[in-house]
Amino acid sequence: MPVIVIGADTPGGDDIVRRLLAREGQVRAFVSDRSAAERLRPLGVKVATGDVSDDSHVGAASTRCFSAVLLTQAASDGRERSFATTPDRVIEGWRSAIGDAEVRRAIWVSDSPIEAATPEHVVLDPGTAGLAEKIAELDDAAEF
């Protein structure tokens, strides 16, 4: 089943994408950094490059994905965000985007609680040991 990693160009994003690629299924990434896109495409990742605060672009990239891995660091780091003025508004846009795209499972990587926007929802701390492995296990699980 397809999975998208939103903010795959944040620290740890590469590890998560690579771990998800180690199993069967399509892996997509949403990034702002063009060099990250160029690094991921040869690995077989379908990459969307854009502004992480553009929820319509995030939603379009998430269409027909079963799972979304959302790295909230991308909502607050130094990248340009033209469509939302605060990290909370970026995250709210993501919640709306994945809901509209009918993503079934959301795996949030955040140090703050996130309201559910999908039928299955979990929040992992970015400091979780073996984070990429844990995300792959959750994505592969029959249900949460």
pLDDT at 142: 87
pLDDT at 144: 80
pLDDT at 105: 98
Q: What are the backbone angles phi and psi of residue 46, rounded to the nearest 5°?
A: -85, 120
Q: What is the pTM of this model?
A: 0.96
The SS3 assignment for 78 reads: coil
Give me the residues of the chain with pLDDT under 70, please: none
Inside any domain, residue 142: no
Inside any domain, residue 90: yes
Q: Domain with 67 in it: what CATH number?
A: 3.40.50.720
Which residue's structure tokens are 């999908």? 118
pLDDT at 24: 87
pLDDT at 111: 93
* Count of domains observed in the chain: 1
Inside any domain, residue 143: no
